[in-house]
Amino acid sequence: MADVRPDVVKLDMALTQGIECRPTHRTLVRSLVRACRELGIAVVAEGVETTSTRDALRELGCSLQQGYLFARPARPFVPVQF
């Protein structure tokens, strides 16, 4: 992260799903969110499918989330050309 300086870091669902009952994952996410905040990098958690996962991530400081809890994937928008 120091060399690339991304605008956004996305947390894989392997790390976020079931985080409410995985202490090691909670520690990792808390640390990543804190480091990203200090570096000015936004953090997005993917794979949020339950309210308990959503709430646990919010408690850890990760407010940007995506997953089936919020919406199903949509078809891409293809503009009509005339």
- Model confidence, pTM: 0.84
Say what the pLDDT of residue 48 is: 97
Say what the pLDDT of residue 13 is: 96
26-76 pLDDT, tens digit per residue, is 999 999 999 999 999 999 999 999 999 999 999 999 999 999 999 988 888
Say what the pLDDT of residue 11 is: 98
In a domain, 39, yes or no: yes
In a domain, 53, yes or no: yes
In a domain, 33, yes or no: yes
Say what the pLDDT of residue 66 is: 96
In a domain, 48, yes or no: yes
Give the DSSP letter string of 13-60: HHHHTTGGG-HHHHHHHHHHHHHHHHHT-EEEE----SHHHHHHHHHT
Say what the pLDDT of residue 75 is: 84
Domain containing residue 44: 8-65
Say what the pLDDT of residue 73 is: 83
Choose the catalytic residue: 20, 38, 46, 49: 46
Active site residue 38: no
